[in-house]
Amino acid sequence: MPVCRPRTTVTPVSHPEAGFETGSSLSLTRRHLEEMAAHCLSCYPEEGCGLLVGELSTGAVVEVHPTDNVAASAQVYTVDPKAHLRIDRAAEEAGLAVIGVFHSHTHTDPWPSPTDVRQAPDPGWHYVLVSLRHEVPSVRSYRIVDGNISEEQVVVSGQ
Amino acid sequence: MSVEVRLPTVLRPAAGGQSVVSVEGATIAEVLGSLQARFPGVEGQLLTEDGSLHRFVNVYVNDDDVRYLDKLDTKVEDGDVVSILPAVAGG
């Protein structure tokens, strides 16, 4: 069984001095942030992961879908492919799309690793990192296009 | 056999923006071959140079991942839905 650490809050979000080069952003609610953090904490010490469903054109998250990390590792993650298929179909039927992925870094900062960059599956996606390095989880979001990383603004609205 | 192939967003530009296309083939290898012949921009994104399925691509027949069936030799039938999705992984 993964060890759960007794933390339930999550801090927003982007580094206050980050330079956002792309002009793109990811919009989500505080509940979405907490869902991602809670799932990643529940998977600790392994990496946690999941998919973001929303509107590709605006970067608005509508649903957070935690999935199994079938790599079952503290160093790498693989989203359960069957869950991906199920989530992708349901999103399409709802007129939405899978617009990104989140995963945790259990002991490092929320910055994409070389593996994250090399394996980034879609240049249109948003790549959310949840760092469990410090007492309170922190979340940042990136675009990864042709091996180049750009941090984007995370806009938190509502509950 | 004519099957429906659902394309991931990353491959849609190579298919003129279509998310679903119909192609011919009796096996996954033939379906992917037909897809590549029709949309040359897809070539190299599904199969490796030695002709096996790229490790960062997952292909499903209906609900089943072909890696757990007969891989590229998996048979398809009229009306089957073949879904292609990127493997989502990192570190």
How many domains is chain B built from? 1
CA distance B81 to A92: 15
Q: What is the pLDDT of residues A2-51, one digit of tens each?
A: 444 444 467 655 554 455 666 799 999 999 999 999 999 999 999 999 99
Range of the domain at A112: 24-156
Residue B8 included in any domain? yes
At A19 the pLDDT is 56
Least CB–CB distance from A119: residue in B8, B56, B60: B56
Q: Cα angle at B6 between A95 and A48, to 5 degrees?
A: 70
- ipTM higher than the 0.90 cut: yes
Provide the number of structural domains found in chain A: 1
Closest by alpha carbon to A67, among A86, A49, A90?
A49
Asked whether residue A39 is domain-assigned, the answer is yes
Q: Which domain holds residue B18?
A: 2-86
Q: Express each pLDDT in B10-19 by its tens digit.
A: 999 999 999 9
- What is the domain-level CATH number for residue A124? 3.40.140.10
For residue B60, the chain A residues in CB contact (below 8 A) are 81, 85
Question: What pLDDT shows up at residue B9?
Answer: 93
Q: Which tens digit of pLDDT belongs to each residue from B52-61?
A: 999 999 999 9
Is A79 part of any domain?
A: yes
Picking from A75, A85, A103 by the largest number of B CB atoms within 10 A of its own CB, the best residue to mutate is A85
Is B91 a domain residue? no
Cα gap B63→B60, rounded to integer Å: 6
In percent, how much of chain A has pLDDT > 90?
82
